[in-house]
Amino acid sequence: MTPLDELFDRNVAWAQAKTRDDPDYFRRMAENQRPQYLWIGCSDSRVTANDVLGLEPGQVFVHRNIANIVHTSDMNILAVLEFAIQHLEIRHIIVCGHYSCGGIERALSEEKSALVDHWLQPIVMLYRKHRALLDAIPDPRTRLDRMCEINIELQVRRLAATPIVEQAWLRGVPLAIHGWIYGVHDGLIRALGAPVTSLAERDSLATIDARIVNPVEPESMLRRHAIEAFADLTSFEPQEGFDCCPDHGLNPGPAS
């Protein structure tokens, strides 16, 4: 028995379970893929797009690398981007990093090596530029998570500046770029600002330097629902005769 035979056994069990619950599952998978989203994420083993989004295989086109970096000279990511937009006609691109990212932690450290740090150079250089401000954050974990957020916003801007995306917008393609961050501690995705959907919106974005000084507050869907619920409560106007707060003598209702 080889060291990886267990994985083959797991694969057999998984395939049998899929066909037992859905006999046509693999027939559908064998058809042409029609994903709705391109996910540009981190290679971290804890953050897999389909699981995080609760989607089945075939619904997300995925590119992953260390710290979800968008290198404009990286033929891999550029080929994925072009294929997604032009061939698969994907209209939503999600740049999703995560808190406690080991790649970002490495970029903030003094440990260096030729290849890894070449890959992480965009975030390394940004950290060096604003080191005094960032190092003023006293808690190391908070500092790391702040840089994880900044990195996503940086990559959104780099992605939006690629000729592939620019040409799509010029052709009138309804393409949206979303910057998200995933919490490995609670399983929730948080949005970092509104999606970028045009050249005008891209050009009106605050600079990444300004974002370090004035960060965007991440927003999960739970928080958004809470804000909407609170807004509904504050917009409620009691009708005449409504007993709002009889204990304090405010707007008393009709006598019983």
Arithmetic mean of pLDDT over the chain = 89
d(CA 164, CA 86): 9
Query: So what's the pLDDT on residue 229?
Result: 78
Q: At what angle do helices 163-170 and 75-82 cross, to 10 degrees?
A: 20
Q: Is 135 a catalytic residue?
A: no
Choice among 92, 98, 157, 211 that is catalytic: 98
42 counts as catalytic = yes
Active site residue: 42, 96, 145, 202, which one? 42
Distance in angstroms (rounded) separating the CA atoms of residues 54 and 131: 37
146 as an active site residue: the answer is no
What token pair was written down for 134?
């960032």
In this predicted structure, what is the pLDDT of residue 131? Answer: 95
Domains of the chain, by residue range, sit at 32-217, 221-256
**Catalytic choice (63, 92, 101, 202):** 101
pTM as predicted = 0.85
46, 118, 171, 225: the active-site residue: 46
- 148 given a catalytic annotation: no
Tell me the pLDDT tens digit for each residue of 165-178: 999 999 999 999 99
Statement: residue 256 has pLDDT above 60: no
CA angle (180, 38, 159) in 5-degree steps? 65
Fold of 32-217: Beta-carbonic Anhydrase; Chain A (3.40.1050)
Radius of gyration of the chain (CA): 24
pLDDT interval class at 183 (50, 70, 90) = very high
Per-residue confidence at 187, pLDDT binned at 50, 70, 90?
A: very high
44 classed as catalytic: yes
For 189-224, what is each residue's pLDDT tens digit? 999 999 999 999 999 999 999 999 999 899 888 877
The burial of 199, by beta-carbon neighbours within 10 Å (0-12 exposed, 13-18 middle, 19 or more buried), is given as middle
